[in-house]
Amino acid sequence: MKIDGTTVLTGSVQPGSTWIRGNIYSEDSSTTTPIHSNGTIIATSRPKARVNSTSFYYTIAPPTYKEYKISNVINVKDVTYYKVAGDGQTDDTASLQAIVNAAAGKNVLFFPHGTYILTDTLLIPPGSRLIGEAWSTLSAYGSKFKDPKNLKAMIKIGNPGDVGVAQLTDFLFTTSDFLPGAVLVGINMAGDMPGNVGGFNCHFMITGGSTTSCKTPAACTTARLCAHFTASSSAYWENSWATGQSGGSATPGAAGGFLIEAVNGTWILGLGTGEFDIQPHSMQNSHIPIC
């Protein structure tokens, strides 16, 4: 592997070791100052729940659903009895919930590019396979996500105790309001195989819509968490960016990023956080820490 033309890693990182580039903090150190590494291999253990038969960590190719017939791929906007707008204004919650429930275990659901407003939790049951188009947006809105003392998931993947398949591919999760009680994605389900529960190329944009009235992150918390992997979950999450968007004097942000409480096999690959400013000459901070 090369960075800026310089080779920093040759070959594979073998079982029983981990390659680190960046700051290293030691619990045995008397100082909180990190040691910066340009590429160091250290000895580590790999729990059996996270590795394959060769003792390497599981890596799962994003699903393509090529095994499904065209008749098994349902466009959510084409369902006759449940109208879905995806226009960034219409409440699509009830229709989408009915469609997701009906499709579970039978069909792949295709969400054409657009913004789908959710005013309540959308439960993703076992057997669900959802795929977006150029990051179809699922956006929380409304009073049910307002209370920071009673957190509520916009997307709830399964209930505790559920085991099976629930996959989301190519989605953007965001809010259309200041919602300090919102958890954008809550994962409760465990996959019966690595990769059967999780997200692929799914990202988080913390924005909150109009931000002109907010001056500090504390005053305009647009979400409580990006994602919560609960204790009952076992999920695979790959290629995900969590970022904030600010404009003018506003500094929208999230109180937390990814909260991982899972005690079963959990894989998170290619996760990044940062900020995005729509005013290139007025850099504002939108902090999304990893918990």
The pLDDT value given to residue 214: 61
Q: Which residue has the higher pLDDT, 46 or 150?
A: 150
Mean pLDDT over 237-245 rounds to 85
Residue 210 pLDDT level (bands cut at 50, 70, 90) = very low
Structure tokens at 230: 């609960």
- pLDDT over 60 (residue 225): yes
The pLDDT value given to residue 171: 98
CATH number for 60-277: choose from 3.40.47.10, 2.160.20.10, 2.40.50.140, 3.40.640.10.
2.160.20.10
The pLDDT value given to residue 282: 27
The pLDDT value given to residue 152: 97
Q: How far is CA 263 from CA 87, 176, 188, 190, in A?
A: 39, 33, 12, 11
**Can you tell me the distance from the alpha carbon of 179 to that of 194, in angstroms, rounded to the nearest whole number?**
32
Q: Which residue has the higher pLDDT, 72 or 17?
A: 72
State the pTM of this model. Answer: 0.82
Using one digit for the tens of pLDDT, what is the confidence trace for 30-65?
667 888 888 889 888 888 888 888 888 888 899 999
Q: Which residue has the higher pLDDT, 103 or 17?
A: 103
The pLDDT value given to residue 215: 62
Mean pLDDT over 68-72 rounds to 96
C-beta of residue 220 within 8 angstroms of C-beta of residue 181: no
- pLDDT over 90 (residue 211): no
The pLDDT value given to residue 283: 26
Mean pLDDT over 149-155 rounds to 96
Write down the domain spans for the chain: 1-45, 60-277
The pLDDT value given to residue 25: 80
Using one digit for the tens of pLDDT, what is the confidence trace for 157-201?
999 999 999 999 999 999 988 888 999 999 999 999 999 999 999
Q: How far is CA 217 from CA 77, 131, 211, in A?
A: 36, 32, 11
The pLDDT value given to residue 22: 87
- pLDDT over 60 (residue 276): no
Mean pLDDT over 258-262 rounds to 93
Average pLDDT, the chain: 85
The pLDDT value given to residue 280: 30
**Can you tell me the distance from the alpha carbon of 259 to that of 256, in angstroms, rounded to the nearest whole number?**
7
Mean pLDDT over 239-267 rounds to 75
**Can you tell me the distance from the alpha carbon of 113 to that of 155, in angstroms, rounded to the nearest whole number?**
18
- pLDDT over 50 (residue 249): no
